[in-house]
Chains A and B, each alone.
Chain A
Amino acid sequence: MSKLSYAVLGLFDTPDALMHAIPKVRAAKLGTVEAYTPYPIHGIDDALGLRRSPLGGMVLVMGTLGALTAFGFQYWISAIDYPIITGGKSAASWEAFIPIMFEVTVLFATFTAGLGMLLLLNRLPFFGHPVLSSKAIKGITRDRYALALEAESEAFDSAAAAQALQAAGAVEVEILPAPDRSPFLTSDYILRTLGGIFVTCLVAGLGIYTLTKWFPLLAPMKYMQDQPRLNAQKASTFFKDGRGMQPPVPGTVARGYLPTATGTQDAAATLVNPLPRTKEVFALGRKVYGNRCEVCHGALANGSGSLTAAYGAKPANLQAQQFRDYPDGKLYWVIVNGKNAMPSHAPYLTETQRWAVVHYVRALQRAQNAKDEDLKVVAP
């Protein structure tokens, strides 16, 4: 025997033939019996005398470990390292940890089942197995069923093994030589692969270095950082006075607050109330009077408001003949500019509100000094 052989493969056309052959070949005790099939065959593990897969236990252990890891991680973070009260719950309340414990359990268990099966139990990836370079492999991954007698020592008798397989009904027999070198992972191939990996790493490393170096400067959205704004305690370069916020131009008036009476009170006497005497205008006037005027001038405009005593001032009694003779414009001028202790009400009363108050004051004056014909107007 010049060449050592690794195994002898016997090929079968049906799973039944394979199953019938297994006990016969095993009885010959010429080497380890292994089957190669295109899909899992039921009952073949018992026939080959394979031990039960320990995967279930591995998954149970790792799954439990996953649950404990997730619990410990969340507990340490939420209750010890960074306790934050959320929703009024105790920092150590564990009920909220359950969803993530479940997910991590599944994650650990899945990777144990998948990678444990491939890497630990099946010892894959492995590209150098002699069966992979056999002629029979095309059939094995397609529609044929192979039974292998694998050498346990150098004393393996391939001729006897081939005979045993043929006696058991194998249609074809193939002797697999012991591999002198890996058929897929040749040194040449490994060198080229390593070279490729090295170049890839180099390119990726340089790329990542450049990206991390430049990416912070190229943030896609930087509007919030680079606003054309003035920072606190910094002088404006745009305005000559260096102020960021400019004071309004003298005489600036907000929309709707235009005071038309800026001259003297006598000059304002000619102004005419632009508002009609309607129910709405009187209602507005009453509301504004109640909010702004009543505390001093009193509900009847007779100068005895609730604040008078406390304030120590003497607001005008608008029922006095002097004020009943005032033209509308003079009353308006006082509302806008103030008089004596009375401040200007222009900043918070719009043009309409001012004139509405004038109308309302006129109504109060007339109500307190009513004549007989006034009753006739209301009565009909």
Chain B
Amino acid sequence: MRTDASVHAVPVPEGLLEPSLTVGKVTPGSLDDQVLAFPETRPPKQWYLALAVTLTALGIGLACIGYTFTTGIGAWGNSSPVFWAFDIINFVFWVGIGHAGTLISAILFLFRKRWRNAIARFAEAMTIFAVMCAVIFPLIHVGRPWLAYWLFPYPNQRALWTNFRSPLLWDVFAVNTYFSVSLMFWYLGLIPDIASMRDRTTSKLRKTIYTVLALGWRGAASHWQHYEKAYLLLAGLATGLVLSVHSVVSFDFATSVVPGWHMTIFPPYFVAGAIFAGFSMVVIVLVVVRETMQLKNLITMRHLDVMNKVILAMSCIMGYSYMMEGFTAWYSMNEYLHHGFMNIITGTYGWAGWITISCNILIPQLLWFRKARASYFWMIFVAIGVTIGMWFERFVIIVISLHQDYLPSAWRIYKPTMIDFGILLGTFGLFFTLVLIFARVLPVIATTEVKAILPDAQPGHGGGHE
């Protein structure tokens, strides 16, 4: 093994070296033994317990969806004028959570932020699961979900086409593209890791499954060359995509004339909010994974520290966006916008407005303190706060804007039903069920990518590739 001195004529001073992304001695082999061995061990009791809880939540959600199908959408609290309520709130909420995964795997890859490598796999998986949760809502909201394929423009005997000027149709394309691209990105990253698992497993069944999934990957240099190029291209494409998806989601609102929706700030505001909520969810899950799967040497406090800094930055952007909402309302000299904004802070749902502001703007300010960024309690406190706050932000945007618009005779107070809450609970059940299963059957850390940034992993650099 080379040392710094043998490569560089002048040794790099200690202070100028970036700190290592791993703690202790990690070699490619030990990394495999640590991460890839996991799926081959028997899950602990706590895992089954957690799975039982999430499956129960999922079951409740499925029961509520079944009740909705057999009874009709009237089982929900939606009613004129609040036709979009929990379903669209939850859709935007889950799509937003997905955005952190793509940000970590694509945008940070383009920025050459090497710390992303250890957490990218998990974040990407969470993207896919979150989008799966999100897609449920528009599907069940159409009322007759078995006809949901009518959303796609296909030649049909009714001689009808979809309306390409509708942002809802843009959404169909954006979300489907997002899911396909995320899945492709995730699977490409998994192939070399699955190949490693294929070559280390002794179980015949696992070997067959991994052999098929790895597609015969053999690590040839000529393959890696194309692979790296493809990964770079996918990262570039996914970066544009992730910015577009939540922008398109925000168009659903911004292109309408409802006071409180019709604002040009919506696309960047939604994207920032999505990254904000997504990072918080990643922090929550990573802390649990780090503790329960003994990955402290790979997912270090430095990772969590950087994640918390991103959350803090996003919180500041959100604060700016909220202020701009108020400014736009004031500067417009439009009484409907004034009324809409005052509704957020003093209306019937004013409490939801204040939950949004305190959870998204005030609580994350704790992360200015290094001690809070290094403390599980505070970072989880902030992350759960942000998750709640971001859910309520969508509640504020959708319900508060809709329940009182231009026509006072149509104003009505919206109240969700237990079925609404049951379906929301069900998607949390689905999300965490998938996360639990993923953590047991596939490598939760992209071992190939982490190997490539270990010290001495690249020739001629000596101390790693920072």
Contact = CB atoms under 8 A, between A and B. Distances in A.
B219 A19 contact: no
Interface in B377-410: none
Given A55-B229, A102-B244, A124 B215 contact: yes
B221 interface: yes
A15 B459 contact: yes
Nearest to B193: A141
A129 interface: yes
Contacts of A37: 219, 221, 224
Interface residues of B, number: 77
Given A44-B221, A100-B173, A110-B184, A38 B196 contact: yes
B459 A53 contact: no
B198 A141 contact: yes
A172 interface: no
A97 interface: yes
A104 B173 contact: yes
Interface string B129-157: 00000000000000110100000010000
B313 to A, nearest CB: 26
B211 interface: yes
A103 interface: yes
Given A109-B237, A141-B192, A103 B174 contact: yes
A73 B1 contact: no
A226 to B, nearest CB: 13
B161 A221 contact: no
B216 A132 contact: yes
Given A82-B161, A110-B234, A141-B196, A41 B459 contact: yes
Contacts of A137: 199, 218
Contact of B165 (A96, A107, A121): A96
A38 B28 contact: yes
A56 B199 contact: no
A89 to B, nearest CB: 7
Contact of A74 (B164, B224, B241, B251): B164
Interface stretch (B48-56, B356-364, B449-457): B449-457
A35 B216 CA distance: 16
The B interface is mostly helix, strand or loop, or mixed, namely helix
Contact of B226 (A53, A89, A219): A53
A122 B227 contact: yes
A36 B72 contact: no
B459 to A, nearest CB: 4
Nearest to B222: A50
B459 A18 contact: yes
Given A55-B233, A87-B165, A97-B164, A41 B460 contact: no
Contacts of B173: 99-100, 103-104
Nearest to B147: A219
B27 interface: yes
Nearest to A15: B459
A99 B251 contact: yes
Interface stretch (A112-120, A228-236, A308-316, A340-348): A112-120
A131 interface: yes
Nearest to B2: A16
Given A74-B164, A99-B170, A99-B248, A221 B69 contact: yes
Nearest to B449: A39
B219 A140 contact: yes
Interface in B439-464: 448-449, 451-452, 456-460
Interface string B292-310: 0000000000000000000
B221 A35 contact: yes
A67 to B, nearest CB: 12
B205 to A, nearest CB: 14
B184 A142 contact: no
A137 B354 CA distance: 59
A221 B70 contact: yes
A38 B219 CA distance: 6
A41 B221 contact: yes
B165 A89 contact: yes
Contacts of B159: 82
Interface string A265-309: 000000000000000000000000000000000000000000000
Centre residue among A42, A50, A56, A126 by max chain B CB count within 10 A: A42
Nearest to A189: B208
B226 A117 contact: yes
Interface string B200-215: 1000000000011001
28 contacts: A14-B459, A15-B457, A19-B459, A34-B222, A35-B220, A36-B218, A37-B224, A39-B457, A42-B459, A45-B222, A50-B222, A53-B225, A55-B226, A73-B153, A96-B164, A99-B167, A106-B181, A110-B234, A114-B185, A118-B215, A124-B217, A142-B29, A142-B196, A143-B27, A143-B28, A219-B146, A221-B70, A223-B72
